[in-house]
Chains A and B, each alone.
Chain A
Amino acid sequence: MRTTARCRRLLPLRADLGRCLRTSLAAALQRPVPLHTNAAVFAASFSSSSSSLAADNSDVVAPSVDDYGSAGLAPIPTKRLLHSNLTTPSLSSAGGNDVFGFPLISNKWFKQQHNANQLRKLHTTAVDAPATKLSSIDNDDVTRFARLSGEWWDERGALKPLHSLNQARVPWIRDTLGSRTSKSSTTDDGRSSLAGLRLMDVGCGAGVLSEPLARLGAHVIGLDAADDAIDVARARTRLDPDLKRANIEYRCGSVESFVADNPKMVGSFDAIVASEVIEHVLSLESFLDACVQLVKPGGQLFFTTLNRTLLSRVMAIWVAEDVLGIVPQGVHDWNKFVPPNDLAALLEARGCNVRLLNGLCYNPLMNKWSWVADTSINYALMARKEA
């Protein structure tokens, strides 16, 4: 009953995306584990093309839909970058990972698999997400949810690279932000290096990145449109004694609606983090508008995402989908990947200065990320909002 309903709902979705093949749908139906971020943006696109969907998901829908989505990015401001104010963080300050040279191919490969999984789940989530069940959860539910949605915190599962990415991105954020607070410069360890800072983790999922930031002392609001993921994240705050003490809260919704609903929080955050998120966003402009609004003047914005290059096209679309067949065809949209220059230009147009840009490289054998100069596949970018 439930399955057939989902089937029916997925049909317009398939037509909408155009390139979704039967294999991916079958896979999505077999594994309806709802996962992941930014469902709102997808829901938004569905709702704009299919009225029945809009009726089902009225409150997951993002308020502003700038529909340039599947055709690729909107025209980019002509101001071409920018090399003067891009700096490279030293490896030690950014976590000091070893550099393994080879894994560009496998990196892409893994990343693809991971994205495909997330997208697949996202489709089901976005269409199927029940409207409001965010309220009171009792402790039995907490454990049940934690067990049900084990996939998020299965560090050896589909999201394995996302967990190990913490070893690179948390020190990056900690050291970049922490250098601003006087407290951290006096302590030799990073325990409470983010104390007193207000952060928002946009597209937090089940809190894979929000949790470490909160443990380091920051006041973190994790925001995600997938309420299942938010449920898992909230359950963990009740089980983990560190997080009970920490200052962490989760909200369900899109960043645009968060701005609309919480006018008092506009301009209140020391930093906004959007990690592995913007490659799924259809309307990058409205997404960035909202992020920049939320951050304080002089505050920072952290992004990690995928570049749109020939290399990523070859590895992501051709090798991963057509040759190896690891990723269901058409699930991944290379057009939504964001080149760092485009992201930087969009941020500059919103009054931010890009300060850091670095490549990230994944070694699937060691499950380890390292900082590299080459940004052609994964990269991390930090911008500062003008004071």
Chain B
Amino acid sequence: MALSRILRSSTNLSATSLIANQLTRICRSFASTSSTSSSAASSDYYDVIVVGGGLVGNAMACNFGLNSNFQEKKLLLLEAGGTRSLGAPSKLYSNRVSAVSPSSKRLFQKLGIWDRLEAYRVKSVRQLQVMDSCSQSAIHFERQSFQSEVAWIIENDAIIGALFDKLASDCSKNVTVKSKARLKSCSLPADTSELAQVVLEDGSVFETKLIIGADGAKSKVREAMEIGYTGWEYGQKAIVATLQVSGGADNEVAWQRFTPFGPVAILPLSANLSSLVWTTSPDKCDQLLALNEDEFVDQLNEALWSEETQDSFVNKALFTVDSMLSTVLPATSVVQLPPTITGLQSDSRAAFPLGFGHAHTYVKPRAALIGDAAHRVHPLAGQGVNLGWGDVQELIEVLQKVVRSGGDLGSMTSLAEYDSRRQMRNVPTMVAIDWLNRLYGTNFAPVVMARSLGLYGVNRFGALKNLIMDRASA
């Protein structure tokens, strides 16, 4: 009796589920006919989807939105957090800043956000001074030409905010920004016969011709691309903070002192404030973060000024070489002394781990990587985000050629061009940065000697120095 009832109820169940199935099928077919009748204007298709609304992803969306070639194309920018706006300057500086290179400045001018940023606050850097804690060798970069700035220090939040504002004001026609959009998965086809698909955690699905992964070092887009990736952690952490300094007249010099634990960089923010990027071992990092403000400042001054690790033999050798060379080549620049740190602007200390990462290819059919998703470097040269902005410019150039010749935005033939051009530019820089970090990660005397003489040599020979400077700021 009971059994038969169960049976009956189960048959009832299957009948209802059958009806439900039928209903959903009808609904679906209805929906599909209605979507085909509304043609390509259906809301879930975008020509390009940028994943990640950070420094690089926003620049990509903005560049796309302002370019006349893409006025009939639609772009969707997915940002996991919220959008920000650039308001009045806050009293406190953010502890995350970027050293914007001259070519990145040109990009900002093209995007029409440079004046806005300058009105907010931008600190120009006229000189760059690199020192070795193990010897007296130092190098000094300064522009000889009329353009006197080496770089500009700008807070990351300000750049992101200015880009969001620009997107809202001038790009709303063809760029849609979706905030709080967390990527769940994306599926990429083997070739351009199908569209790529993006699924968000809230269940919404978008189709596109091209997914641009600007979602940082742990990129989900890169994961979905299933490409080779070489990466490692440096076993180093970087402490960032906003510092009060005294000493330099206008505070227009960016300082970097290499210590065996890692480089300490002091980047000017204003006449009496600087931003700190202190690379050190994880243990030392934890200790430093646990200290109170005064103790932390003492430790930092020691790291900047300490003579403990100086190698006297190397110094003697340097002195000899210098006195010999000075008879032929007069000294060109005077070594300046780093500023003295007097305190912190509130307690703005924070730390993050450092690593290296390199995607073996930046492209797949219907997908491309830009910024940290494609390459992650040590912050010691301030190059990371500038490489990303370089990616943006190259990718835009390739895509506008595609549009002008009627191609498919996700076509491999064109994307491969982006890939090879950017790899050619990025990989040597990445390798150089990695080697610099290794070269200065030791106090082994022969290495100290070699690097000191090398740094000295580069400093004395203008042509070589200019070459390096042009490369770093290009």
From B124-132, B310-318, B407-415, give the one contacting chain A. B407-415
Q: Taking A153-B191, A239-B195, A241-B45 as contacts, is the C-beta distance between A170 and B406 under 8 angstroms?
A: yes
CB atoms of A191 and B405 under 8 A apart: no
Instruction: Using CB atoms, name the residue of chain B closest to A95.
Output: B405
CB atoms of B365 and A143 under 8 A apart: no
Contacts of A155 in B (CB 8 A): 191-192, 365, 411-413
Contact of A352 with B by CB under 8 A? no
Docked Cα-Cα span, A153 to B194, in Å, equals 10
CB atoms of B405 and A244 under 8 A apart: no
Docked Cα-Cα span, A167 to B39, in Å, equals 29
For B383-405 the 0/1 string (1 means CB < 8 A from A) is 00000000000000000110111
Contact of A146 with B by CB under 8 A? yes
Contacts of A339 in B (CB 8 A): none
Contact of B85 with A by CB under 8 A? no
For A209-248 the 0/1 string (1 means CB < 8 A from B) is 0011111100000000000000010011001111011000
Q: Taking A153-B192, A155-B192, A166-B407 as contacts, is the C-beta distance between A191 and B69 under 8 angstroms?
A: yes
Instruction: Using CB atoms, name the residue of chain A closest to B404.
Output: A190
Instruction: Using CB atoms, name the residue of chain B closest to A157.
Output: B191
CB atoms of A170 and B191 under 8 A apart: no
Contacts of A58 in B (CB 8 A): none
Q: Taking A171-B405, A191-B404 as contacts, is the C-beta distance between A166 and B68 under 8 angstroms?
A: no
Contacts of B192 in A (CB 8 A): 153, 155
Docked Cα-Cα span, A12 to B412, in Å, equals 40
Contact of B72 with A by CB under 8 A? yes
Tell me if A's interface is mostly helix, strand, loop or mixed: helix
CB atoms of B68 and A188 under 8 A apart: yes
Interface size classification for chain A: 35 or more
Contact of A355 with B by CB under 8 A? no
Partner of B40, one of A170, A241, A367: A241
Contact of B34 with A by CB under 8 A? no
Partner of B411, one of A163, A213, A216: A163
**Shortest CB distance B176–A (Å):** 15
Count the A-B residue pairs with Cβ separation under 8 angstroms: how many? 88
Contact of B359 with A by CB under 8 A? no
CB atoms of B40 and A245 under 8 A apart: yes
For B300-317 the 0/1 string (1 means CB < 8 A from A) is 000000000000000000
CB atoms of A167 and B413 under 8 A apart: yes
Contact of B193 with A by CB under 8 A? yes
CB atoms of B416 and A190 under 8 A apart: no
Q: Which of A327-351 contact B (CB under 8 A)?
A: none
Contact of B420 with A by CB under 8 A? yes
**Shortest CB distance A253–B (Å):** 24
Contact of A322 with B by CB under 8 A? no
Docked Cα-Cα span, A163 to B417, in Å, equals 13
Instruction: Using CB atoms, name the residue of chain A closest to B407.
Output: A212
CB atoms of B193 and A236 under 8 A apart: yes
CB atoms of A153 and B193 under 8 A apart: yes
**Shortest CB distance A215–B (Å):** 4
Q: Taking A239-B194, A245-B40 as contacts, is the C-beta distance between A156 and B412 under 8 angstroms?
A: yes
**Shortest CB distance B377–A (Å):** 27
Contact of B190 with A by CB under 8 A? yes
Contact of A180 with B by CB under 8 A? no
Instruction: Using CB atoms, name the residue of chain A closest to B365.
Output: A155
CB atoms of B405 and A366 under 8 A apart: no
**Shortest CB distance B412–A (Å):** 4
Most chain B beta carbons < 10 A, residue from A143, A174, A189, A235: A189
CB atoms of B69 and A239 under 8 A apart: no
Contacts of B69 in A (CB 8 A): 189, 191
Q: Which of B162-207 contact A (CB under 8 A)?
A: 190-195
Partner of B193, one of A150, A156, A160, A171: A150
Docked Cα-Cα span, A211 to B195, in Å, equals 16
CB atoms of B406 and A214 under 8 A apart: yes
Contact of A154 with B by CB under 8 A? yes
CB atoms of A190 and B405 under 8 A apart: yes
Docked Cα-Cα span, A153 to B420, in Å, equals 21
Q: Which of A343-377 contact B (CB under 8 A)?
A: 366-368
Partner of B404, one of A153, A189, A235: A189
Contacts of A213 in B (CB 8 A): 406
Q: Which of A177-191 contact B (CB under 8 A)?
A: 188-191
Most chain A beta carbons < 10 A, residue from B39, B71, B406, B412: B406
Docked Cα-Cα span, A213 to B404, in Å, equals 11
Instruction: Using CB atoms, name the residue of chain B closest to A156.
Output: B412
Partner of A189, one of B403, B413, B416, B420: B403
Q: Given A146-B194, A147-B194, 20 more contacts at CB 8 Å?
A: A143-B194, A153-B193, A155-B413, A163-B412, A163-B413, A166-B407, A167-B414, A170-B407, A171-B404, A174-B404, A174-B405, A188-B68, A189-B69, A189-B400, A191-B403, A239-B195, A242-B408, A244-B40, A245-B40, A367-B413
* Interface residue ranges, B against A (CB under 8 Å): 39-40, 45, 47, 68-69, 71-72, 190-195, 365, 400-401, 403-408, 411-414, 416-417, 420
Q: Can you list 23 A-B pairs with a CB-CB distance of less than 8 A?
A: A95-B405, A146-B194, A150-B191, A163-B413, A166-B413, A167-B413, A170-B406, A170-B407, A171-B404, A174-B405, A174-B406, A189-B404, A190-B403, A191-B69, A212-B406, A214-B406, A216-B405, A240-B408, A241-B40, A241-B45, A241-B47, A242-B408, A366-B420
